[in-house]
Structure 1
Amino acid sequence: MMITLLVLTTLASLAVTSPVLPTQTWPPAFCNKLECPKYTTVKTTKDYEERQYDPAKWTSTTISGMSYDEASRTGFERLFNYISGSNKGQVKIPMTAPVLVKVEPGQGPFCKTNFTVSFFVPFADQTSPPEPSDPNVFTNPLTGMTAYVRYFKGFASDTDWTSNAEALSKSLDNATVSYNKDFYYTAGYNSPFQPTNRHNEVWYLKSD
């Protein structure tokens, strides 16, 4: 009886003192059964999620312009050609998620923005991705990073991306979080032919 009470007391103590770690189901449902970069959820608030991403390679292309929609469309076409066989091995590469766009605004109101559009490299190709045939397409290794993520639903327009990035920035400022304000990322997880259950994200990266 005394041993049983001791065991129960010890378990109760552990339950109180042990940290509660976030649970993670992989892959997330919003990846739609496509391969997507691995991350750990660090914290969730009512306004955003904090994620720790593993280092990973992406295939990228950069477009300079004034329109997010036009730049992302051009970037997507270049990268889709790459995974369709426009590479040195002429191999077909599976589609992954998300379509990631790094948005680096120009320094003035009439300056062009740099949009770097990226596809995640499948896990099987992470060590040695097929070399692109298009000189405008390149392999882009991203180091491990902490991202503050806000998500929203529906078909995202240029205005939707901008307004959600502004809302995330305001939330981070209110939380006195340190983050890189020079750029942000957009992440789209759905085919344009998927009418419902669409998942969109904007990211700011934690600064050192």
Structure 2
Amino acid sequence: MKFFLIIISVTAIIIIGTVHAMAIEEVKYKVVKKDNHFEVRDYSTHIVAETVVEENMEDAGNIAFKKLFGYISGDNRSRDKISMTAPVSQQKKGEKIKMTAPVTQAPDKDSWVVSFMMPSGYTMETLPAPENLEVTLRQIPARRMAVVGYSGFWSEKGYLRYKAELESWIHRMGFTAVGVPIWARYNPPFMPWFLRRNEILIPIDVGSG
């Protein structure tokens, strides 16, 4: 009986998590190229609420989530509640990558920028200002991204593995990276690890793909 109850509970979590994932808005994009689990996508302009956390990679997301979730839950000048969207994105703050010039800049070791996408119905003018000064709003321009998707735990090990795979694929395809890697997570924490949708995205030159 105990085993049966566990199975029922897990099934319920999967169903609830799947419905939750399907119900929230995601940033719009068009697939330009697909190669197994790699894609090139054109993303539309969108707005994010973001915060900077000085912490190790795996803890930074949890710390930032509280601040960002507070903002969309009413910790803003208008006390408005803003719908949750996907994904939660995380990237190194201050990290520069090698482009056409030989000059590079070392990443700020323990500083991460974590962001929530804002619903498409808002503009920079209509979004309420955050009460928490550590949360800021920023408009992301349209851009082309190389993407690799994977399932599994939210770990630095997984991030580094798939980031390396994506960087290798970008090199093989002759694309030019023009921005820092972004770690995107689409599911709530209670989603079983084997059903989680994770992605690494790297901006590439618009002539790529």
**Fold match (TM-score > 0.5):** yes
CA shift, 1:114, in A, is 3.0
1:21-59 alpha-carbon deviations (Å, 9 max, x no partner)? xxxxxxxx9952211111111110125101000111111
Is 1:186 equivalent to 2:183 in the alignment? yes
CA shift, 1:152, in A, is 0.2
Q: Which residue identity lines up with residue 158 of structure 1 in the other structure?
A: E
1:149–1:203 Cα contact (<8 Å) kept: yes
Is 1:48 equivalent to 2:38 in the alignment? yes
Matches within 5 A, 1:1-208: 31-65=21-55, 67-104=56-93, 105=95, 107-108=105-106, 111-127=108-124, 128-180=126-178, 183-195=180-192, 196-207=194-205
Q: Which residue identity lines up with residue 155 of structure 1 in the other structure?
A: F
2-side partners of 1:85 and 1:204: how far apart? 32
The equivalent of 1:18 in structure 2 is: none
CA shift, 1:70, in A, is 1.5
2-side partners of 1:207 and 1:75: how far apart? 30
1:165-185 alpha-carbon deviations (Å, 9 max, x no partner)? 1110011111111112x5210
Give TM-score, length-normalised by structure 2: 0.78
2-side partners of 1:198 and 1:30: how far apart? 12
Q: Which residue identity lines up with residue 188 of structure 1 in the other structure?
A: R
**Unmatched 5+ residue regions in structure 1?**
1-28
2-side partners of 1:77 and 1:100: how far apart? 14
2-side partners of 1:89 and 1:47: how far apart? 42
1:47–1:168 Cα contact (<8 Å) kept: no
Range with greater deviation from structure 2 (155-164 or 131-140): 155-164
Show structure 1 runs of 4+ deviating over 3 A: 104-109
Range with greater deviation from structure 2 (128-137 or 111-120): 111-120
Root-mean-square deviation (CA), in Å?
Answer: 2.1
1:31–1:98 Cα contact (<8 Å) kept: no
**Identical columns (%):** 28
**Unmatched 5+ residue regions in structure 2?**
1-18, 97-104
2:75–2:130 Cα contact (<8 Å) kept: yes
2-side partners of 1:98 and 1:32: how far apart? 12
Q: Which residue identity lines up with residue 171 of structure 1 in the other structure?
A: W
2-side partners of 1:97 and 1:191: how far apart? 10
CA shift, 1:129, in A, is 1.1
Q: Which residue identity lines up with residue 88 of structure 1 in the other structure?
A: R
Give TM-score, length-normalised by structure 1: 0.78
Cα distance change of structure 1 residues 47 and 190 upon mapping to structure 2, 3 Å threshold: closer
Task: Count the aligned residue pairs.
Answer: 177
2-side partners of 1:152 and 1:83: how far apart? 28
